Amino acid sequence: MRHLRPKDIGLIFDMTVYNDPNKKKESLDFRIQCEKCCIKVPDNSTSCDVAQLVGGNFGSVMPGSTKVVSLVWPTVTLHNRVGSCDIFITSQNKTGGRIKISHTIHFDTTINKQMVTEHVKAYINSVNYTQCSGPDLDPLRNCTPADCEEKYFGQRNFFNTKTNFCEPVPDCSAVDTGDAIYDYTVNECVDVKRIVCQEHIDKMQKGGYDGNMWEPKHDTESFANITHMPLEKYEGNMKTNDVIDVDAKSPWTGILQGFLMIIAALAIYLCISCCTFSLMVLITKRSSGPNNN
């Protein structure tokens, strides 16, 4: 692997291909293909759903000759990369005979003050960096969150501020009900038809909530981990076990709201009129007082 430079378009790997003259003395056309690339992710596992090395056809190499070719792993996040790429080198002679050789390329561009590899040494000497506590905190930007979408090629797009790791985003379209939406604040799928659960109702009846805050007292359980109960249309008097459907509206609701708004407007108008009349009477009395004497 080449030494990193700040403006590189990716990790660049140089390979030397040699045509052994002790075997058949003939020129060989060859090409290099990438089977897969895997990188280490924060939970100490590996992810292979990432970009591949860019290879291609590299022409021919004569017997006893060598040829240096370059493979590129496109990314602008050069540092804190640990992984490997499996490639195949396929050669073909003039008669159509083919030979296929497999090879694995390993790379590690971790920025660590205790252990700096030769590939990274010149890179960190040319930029200002900070030693960070996690691989998804950018040492070149004062340990601010990395660009998760770019770093993991769209596979881990959510940055968890509690763990400081980039995490996968759930596929809310795969939820059975088909009415789930993505809550970007907690990186979870929320069923819009199952908002209220019995536990929440019990807590509200017992005063388990602070004012208008939705967060229950002494309850840190995730909203998605609570057993939800479906909402049903509410009619009649509310009972202990009833659940109100937030989407259900009575046909009289709009009329009643309009009537109340009219009454409120009339009350305000009458109040202003009374105040104005009283003020005018007071001014009249004061202005006419001296004339009467």
pLDDT at 289: 57
SS (H, E, C) the chain: CCCCCCCCCEEEEEEEEECCCCCCCCCEEEEEEEEEEEEECCCCCEECCCCCCECEEEEEECCCCEEEEEEEEECCCCCCCEEEEEEEEEEECCCCCEEEEEEEEEEECCCCCCCCCHHHHHHHHCCCCCCCCCCCEEHHHCCEECCHHHHCCCCCCEEECCCCEEECCCCHHHCCCCCEEEECCCCEEEECCCCCCHHHHHHHHCCCECCCCCCECCCCCCHHHCCCCCCECCCCCCCCCCCECCCCCCCCHHHHHHHHHHHHHHHHHHHHHHHHHHHHHHHHHHHHHHHHC
Residue 74 has pLDDT above 50, yes or no: yes
Does the model's pTM come out above 0.75?
no
Residue 19 has pLDDT above 60, yes or no: yes
pLDDT at 251: 52
Residues 59 and 92 sit within 8 Å (Cβ to Cβ): no
CB 179: neighbour CB atoms within 10 A? 12
In order of 133, 149, 205, 240, 279, the CA distances from 162 in angstroms are: 13, 18, 32, 37, 62
Task: Taking residues 125-151, report their average pLDDT.
Answer: 85
Going from N- to C-terminal start, the domains of the chain cover: 1-169, 174-257
31-46 pLDDT, tens per residue?
898 888 998 888 778 8
Looking at the DSSP assignment, which residues form a beta bridge with residue 29?
60, 92
Per cent of the chain over pLDDT 90 is 11
200-220 pLDDT, tens per residue?
677 777 776 554 444 444 444
Per cent of the chain over pLDDT 70 is 74
* pLDDT averaged over every residue in the chain: 76
pLDDT at 201: 75
164-196 pLDDT, tens per residue?
999 999 888 866 666 788 888 888 888 777 666
